[in-house]
Amino acid sequence: MLGGTALMGAVSGAVQSAQSAAIATGAFTPDLEIELRAVPDQIPLYRGAPTHVWRYRAKVIKGDERAVSHQPGSPLGPVIRVHRGTRVRVHFINEVSQPSVVHWHGLLVPEAADGHPRFAVGPGGRHVYEFEVINRAGTYWFHPHPHGMTGPQVYAGLTGLFIVSDDEEQALSLPAGEHDVSLVIQDRSFTRDNQLQYIGSGPGMMGMMSSMTGFLGDHIHVNGRPDYMLAAERRPYRLRLVNGSNSRIYKLAWHNGTPLTVIGTDGGLLAAPVNRPYVTLAPSERIELWVDFSSRAAGEELNLVSLPFVASSGGGMMGGGMMGGGGPAQGSAFPVLKVRMGQGAAVSEKLPGKLASIPALHPEQAHNLNTPRPIRVTASGMRWSLNGRLFEMEGVARDEVVRFGSTEVWEFINEAGMGMMGSMPHPIHVHGVQFRVIDRRVHPGAMAAWRSVSEGYVDEGWKDTALVMPGERVRVLMRFEHYPGLFLYHCHNLEHEDMGMMRNFLIKA
Ligand code: C2O
Ligand code: CU
């Protein structure tokens, strides 16, 4: 159904048959029970023919109806809002023509609920997810995770938000209700008859090249809509920015240079607000901003833009900042969205100086501080890989086993100039944990690219994804304290993930 490719029709055989539903266990009593369907649909986006999409539709079967909302006019999935401690059961029903599975990105859930590709169900299949929400208040999201097909399925529209609140956050009285706005940023390309175009996995050299780069579209959509405009009151807002793009990285700033006040990252609120000239947002990362529009004039317009940056350290096939999927190269400038101030009176509100309690960073708690576990970006033939290995459905190497309850340092390493492949940015994501960034180092030869984005990193809080630029090494601290089992770590450039830049790791009880 996606213009120009046969992707959406192919169904691989190696999945559980339809109706092989996991049976809800008796021991778990949910507070909230949701039916979540992945369905084909069509929606008018541009003048002319409606656009065929795949989307999540949800309804509450038990519990608070207000927990699920769909944004009118948006092809994206629902926003699910829950308080920390809520026990959730989701009945997933796959009504699209490929195997699929739902991953709750950033949420700490048991192995069986984490959306590992081995739990994908075929067309007509169902899967039941059960978990208690133990995460801090924050902006999490969900998307498909079947092996080899995550990119095209997210691209087709399968994306939803999972927003968690908790008591600590509610005591702050941050902007709420219509003043708390989620903004999912994605790049898309279209055929002349308004159909989504996904070139990434096409046959031949062009397909191969754009899979190596990752898909890059030429239109920016926010919450699934082109030319997104937020009609705002003159008062403070909480903006939750989510990069839901397959591969594109954004360097987000106000067009007039007003600094950004960041209050949260992937894993929720920071200890205190921090200011940045711009924020760097790689695929799957979230940044929460507190934005005060009270000093803006009635009717004034503000533009959130993505500034240009250098995406490569030069050399190799990836060195020229080449195109992927026909769209403008990684690092190109884009308008992202507009905010238009209303005519009402200005309202001022104070942002608290202290937001949340975050434990001090203690890298010495790790048993391997002096010998961090290396997660090295490698190239295996014409594919990106991790430590020289491609994804294997059940495979775990001996050096991919960690002890339940242990604290470790992992080092994501993206060496500059990897021979023929050159070097490019990779956002590395780990399931089953939220981690803290200890430090970043960069190869002197890769400084130009690094300096063009590094002021926009927000490493002060909890993270589940870290962008690793060409020539960069990032050390992160994590404790495997939530659930044992088989989890994933991978590049969140979805074309890289689909081509095998993903591995299991085992948290061994
Ligand atoms: Cu958002 Cu394993 O992915
Ligand atoms: Cu990658």
Q: How far apart are CA 377 and CA 468, in angstroms?
A: 9
Under the banding of pLDDT at 50, 70 and 90, the label for residue 26 is low
pTM higher than 0.85? yes
Most confident of 81-95, 190-204, 206-220: 81-95
* pLDDT tops 50 at residue 415: yes
- CA nearest to 199, candidates 244, 157, 246: 246
The whole-number pLDDT of residue 12 equals 35
User: What percentage of the chain has pLDDT greater than the value 90?
Assistant: 84
* pLDDT tops 90 at residue 204: no
- How remote is the CA of residue 240 from the centroid of ligand 2, in Å? 24
pLDDT digits (tens, 9 = 90+) for 447-491: 999 999 999 999 999 999 999 999 999 999 999 999 999 999 999
Atom of ligand 1 nearest to the CA of 105: 1
Q: Is 248 in the pocket of ligand 1 (CB under 6 A)?
A: no
Q: Is 105 in the pocket of ligand 1 (CB under 6 A)?
A: yes
Mean pLDDT computed over 264-277: 98
The whole-number pLDDT of residue 209 equals 67
Q: Is 488 in the pocket of ligand 1 (CB under 6 A)?
A: yes
Q: Is 153 in the pocket of ligand 1 (CB under 6 A)?
A: no
* pLDDT tops 50 at residue 167: yes
Mean pLDDT computed over 266-292: 98
Atom of ligand 1 nearest to the CA of 497: 2
Ligand with an atom nearest the CA of residue 377: 2
Q: How far apart are CA 239 and CA 226, in angstroms?
A: 18
Mean pLDDT computed over 12-16: 34
The whole-number pLDDT of residue 53 equals 97
What is the overall mean pLDDT for the chain?
91
Mean pLDDT computed over 196-201: 73
- How remote is the CA of residue 494 from the centroid of ligand 1, in Å? 9
Cα 447 to chain center, whole Å? 26
Q: Convert 274-297 to b/e letters by CB count within 10 Å (16 or more is b).
A: eebebbbbbbbbbbbbbbbbeebe
Ligand 1, atom 1: nearest CA belongs to which residue?
105
Ligand with an atom nearest the CA of residue 266: 1
- How remote is the CA of residue 467 from the centroid of ligand 1, in Å? 14
Mean pLDDT computed over 352-375: 96
The whole-number pLDDT of residue 316 equals 53
Q: Is 429 in the pocket of ligand 1 (CB under 6 A)?
A: yes
Atom of ligand 1 nearest to the CA of 431: 2
The alpha carbon dihedral of 273, 246, 316, 381 has a sign of: positive
* pLDDT tops 90 at residue 289: yes
Q: Which are the contacts of 41, defined by CB distance < 8 A and separation ≥ 6?
A: 52, 53, 54, 55, 75, 157
- How remote is the CA of residue 180 from the centroid of ligand 2, in Å? 32
Residue 142 or residue 419, greater confidence: 142
Q: Is 147 in the pocket of ligand 1 (CB under 6 A)?
A: no
- CA nearest to 18, candidates 118, 122, 165, 99: 122
Ligand with an atom nearest the CA of residue 101: 1
Atom of ligand 1 nearest to the CA of 490: 2
- How remote is the CA of residue 448 from the centroid of ligand 1, in Å? 29
- How remote is the CA of residue 386 from the centroid of ligand 2, in Å? 9
* pLDDT tops 70 at residue 20: no
The whole-number pLDDT of residue 507 equals 98
Mean pLDDT computed over 136-160: 97
Mean pLDDT computed over 26-31: 87
Mean pLDDT computed over 40-65: 97
Mean pLDDT computed over 93-121: 98
The sheet that has 250-254: what strands, in order across it? 229-232, 334-341, 301-306, 250-254, 279-281
Q: Is 431 in the pocket of ligand 1 (CB under 6 A)?
A: yes
Q: Which residue has the tokens 């809002």?
A: 81
Q: Which of 205-209, 286-290, 334-338, 460-464 has the lowest mean pLDDT?
A: 205-209
* pLDDT tops 90 at residue 13: no
Task: Decide the pairing of beta strands 401-403 and 87-94.
Answer: unpaired
* pLDDT tops 80 at residue 37: yes
Mean pLDDT computed over 423-432: 96
Ligand with an atom nearest the CA of residue 318: 2
* pLDDT tops 90 at residue 51: yes
Tokens of 289: 């901003």
